[in-house]
Chain A
Amino acid sequence: MAAILSISDLRKSYDGGFEALKGVSLDIDEGEILALLGPNGAGKTTLISTVCGIISPTSGSVKVGGHCTLSDFRAARSLIGLVPQEINLEPFEKVINSVRFSRGLFGKPRNEALIEDILRKLSLWDKRNSQVKELSGGMKRRVLIAKALAHEPRVLFLDEPTAGVDVELRKDMWEVVRELKANGVTIILTTHYIEEAEAIADRVGVIANGEILLVKDKDELMTQLGQKQLCVHLSAPISDVPASLAAHALELNAEGDALIYTYDTRGERTGITSLLNDVAAAGLVLADVSTRQSSLEDIFVGLVSGDKA
């Protein structure tokens, strides 16, 4: 698939001289969902704002659908929809007018059926004639999403779309995202909820201190970097790991009734067979065996803290 968004060596220094983006390069394929993870202040919002034209880059270039965001800004921007992190809405305007305005701003002719459809999907139709200030925080966030969808973007940026949205509506929101993806819309989202990235993204990018640390296919990332833990539950607690098992680098849990073996799924051999043989030879009786795959969160925390070290 061709890259619909192509960022090359993008740098941004803010007025104070602070470098928020230190040469970010990233290609995003048409139709994929990319989740950007990173701690507070990593540069996620700066990256998105630079691509969308809210912030001027210090250097580097961005192409959307082959159009440069600076020299051919009209063509580039008409493809982009943005849901900002901050809830920025005109408080006195009616919901539906605010959404219509967004469509008009992008030069699209009126399409009431489309706007109704968007508002219904986001459960805002009943509130269409309310003033924005009368809505709850989660509803306001959905108004932002409706505004971004109003001009039928091909690339959608969601900057922490689920912050302050309850579980039920979060599900609805992911339903909308899946539907957009089914229609070929490319989606870039940032989130602090790693389960979300894990559940919805095709690829995951990790950004910290203005640099992309990695971008990987989610499944590949999970298996490649994923560590698994094998937990051997014992029928009777022991006080120490038997000396004959020292070679396996086992940990004993606090209760003394389980041995924890951490291994890398990337490894040629996991060492499970020999471990279990040795456990039996040591005369231990097994009650149960379980494994646990590390989540994206574990990977993410490992990467970010590793970077700081």
Chain B
Amino acid sequence: MNLTAIWSIYRFEMTRFFRTLFQSFLSPVLSTSLYFVVFGAAIGSRIDQVDGIDYGAFIVPGLIMLSVMTQSISNASFGIYFPKFIGTIYELLSAPVSFLEIVLGYVGAAATKALFIGVVILATSSLFVDLSIAHPMAMVLFLLLTCLSFALMGFIIGIWAKNFEQLQLVPLLVVTPLVFLGGSFYSISMLPPIWQKVTLFNPVVYLISGFRWSFFGTSDVPVGLSLLAIGGFTLACLCVIWWIFKTGWRIRE
């Protein structure tokens, strides 16, 4: 294992992040604050409680998940797509590094950035609402797994994409709708019965539900199922990556 190489890739990616630290920091703070103004204050004042939790607090886990998922995907997909686009991938391909090491470097960096943003949102939220975290360990575990699995998915998208449009396509057409419809801002029990069933096909529901459970101890679906879902998703991404590695798909001519 070429640990120095993994660390080099990771550092190189993180400097890109630090170069734009201010934006990286400001945009989640700003968007979180806006969500609180719109959902928390304007709408929340009419809803007041969901499952016995203040609406303002109720949306925090969903907000974090929303950002963490989209950030993981966009960071990782851009991270590997950019070298392909500008041609610097030649260096990765001609270096004594295995595909696994490349994945660890890029996915690790993308997940770290997303994690950072998740923490920033959590901190910003706590300025607006009273938050207590019922299961901190589980919270961290869910957060880490989400960062990791969505960064893996982003990496796959970045390898797959042949142009910038494709790079945006999956996040825009698949991920954002699934996340918004995954119960970020509402409890599934608020839906009409038929939609309560349909929505169970949305994998994001399990993640948000599990994450919310770690905050408030209540969930839409059993926590075990949530863990299973995210574990399964991570595994699926790993399998796809292993296959890419085996075949050199869209990397090596």
Contacts and interface: CB of A to CB of B under 8 A. Distances in A.
A60 B15 CA distance: 40
A90 B95 contact: no
A74 B2 contact: yes
A104 B5 contact: yes
Given A78-B96, A88-B86, A102 B91 contact: yes
Interface in B1-49: 2-5, 7-9, 11-12, 15-16, 19
Interface in A123-178: 147
A73 B96 contact: yes
Contact of B91 (A76, A91, A100, A105): A105
A107 B5 contact: yes
A251 to B, nearest CB: 49
Given A88-B87, A105-B91, A107-B4, A77 B253 contact: no
Contacts of A89: 86, 88
B126 to A, nearest CB: 34
Counting contact residues on chain B (CB < 8 A from A), the size range is 20 to 34
Given A84-B90, A88-B90, A54 B5 contact: no
Contacts of B232: none
B144 interface: no
Interface residues of A, number: 36
A80 B94 contact: yes
A269 B3 CA distance: 66
Contacts of B16: 92
28 contacts: A14-B253, A49-B253, A52-B93, A53-B94, A55-B252, A56-B252, A74-B2, A75-B96, A76-B96, A78-B96, A80-B94, A86-B87, A88-B86, A89-B86, A89-B88, A90-B82, A90-B86, A91-B86, A92-B16, A93-B15, A100-B8, A102-B91, A104-B5, A105-B9, A107-B2, A107-B4, A107-B97, A108-B4
